[in-house]
Amino acid sequence: MYLHIYYKVIKMATFSQVLTVQGKSDYVVSIPSDLRKCFFIYAICVLSDDHILITDNNNKRVKQLNHQYKVVGHCDLTTYPTDMCCITPSEIAIIGNDYRTHDVQFVTSGTALYKYSMTGDLLNKLYEDTSGDYTVWKCAANPSGDKIFVTNWSHNKVLTLAIDGAVLHTFTDTDLVCPFGIHVTDQGQVLVCGQSSNTILQLDGEGKKKLATLLTERDGLNAPHSVCCNRSTASIIVGQYIGNQILVFKEK
């Protein structure tokens, strides 16, 4: 996955500001032309115009949602999309995996994190852990670009890496089982999905400690796989493993 690294000054206080939610809405993201059930929403991102993109892995599609979370467009892919992120206001990068070929840019292989240039040239391997099949699963960079957060699905961990790949911190918690998707807000708040614990946790900006268990099964979570914070609408969007809906929670 391409990581668009950019630099700006952010006060440390924003990293530790705990998010709180109130109310939940469900939105159907299946469309009549889908050939299969809409499963495996592995990634969500918000565009500069506040339109939302989601990956529908089972249908090999990226879908565009409007401000009312209605599907208004889609792009068919030749492979199964497993992750994506914005790299410019009008461009996204997508990781594809058809179990034979792996299309990548700033890439996780399941056990390693590789750094590529924006033109697709391999620069170096940042980190590797071969102690399991999914020790390097999803990653996200902080706003200042000096830390990368990585979910280790196999061992229920979130790693904080320096930009050179050195491990700075390792986070574990009983509320986080099989961590999957991870997201860092523009303010530096770290959100991570617990697939098997049916939770979304907020970590501090260093990835060292839990600030809150934001959402649980009581809030309707069922194997959450992706999470994204839309600051302009003050909402948290969650995609899940099974089902044709996204969940949208309003921030207090």
pLDDT tens per residue, range 28-43: 999 999 999 998 999 9
pLDDT of 193 > 80? The answer is yes
On average, the pLDDT of the chain sits at 88
Residue range 207-224: mean pLDDT, rounded = 96
Question: Which residues is 52 bridged to in the sheet?
Answer: 46, 65
Model confidence at 101: pLDDT above 50: no
Q: Distance of CA 171 to CAs 13, 54, 141, 185, 188, Å?
A: 20, 27, 16, 19, 17
pLDDT at 104: 41
| Alpha carbons 252 and 250: distance in angstroms, whole number | 6
Question: Do 87 and 98 form a contact (C-beta atoms < 8 A)?
Answer: no
Q: How confident is the model at residue 215 (pLDDT cuts 50, 70, 90)?
A: very high
What band does 5 get if pLDDT is binned at 50, 70 and 90? very low
In this prediction, what percent of the chain has a pLDDT beyond 70? 90
- Model pLDDT for residues 133-183, shown as the tens digit of each residue: 999 999 999 999 999 999 999 999 999 999 999 999 999 999 999 999 999
What is the rounded CA–CA span in Å between residue 135 and residue 115?
17
DSSP letter for 129, please. -
- Assign domain 12-251 to a CATH class: mainly beta
Domain boundaries defined on the chain: 12-251
Which tops the pLDDT comparison, 78 or 174?
Answer: 174
Percent of the chain with pLDDT over 90: 70
In this prediction, residues 117-131 reach a mean pLDDT of 89
pLDDT band at 49 (very low <50, low <70, confident <90, very high): confident
pLDDT of the residue at 14: 62
144 and 5 in contact (C-beta within 8 Å)? no
How many C-beta atoms surround the C-beta of residue 101 within 10 A? 10
Query: Does this model's pTM top 0.85?
Result: yes
Q: What pLDDT was estimated at residue 11?
A: 45
The pLDDT-based confidence of 98 (bands split at 50, 70, 90) is low
Q: Check if the beta carbon of residue 136 is closer than 8 Å to that of residue 110.
A: yes
pLDDT at 17 over 80: yes
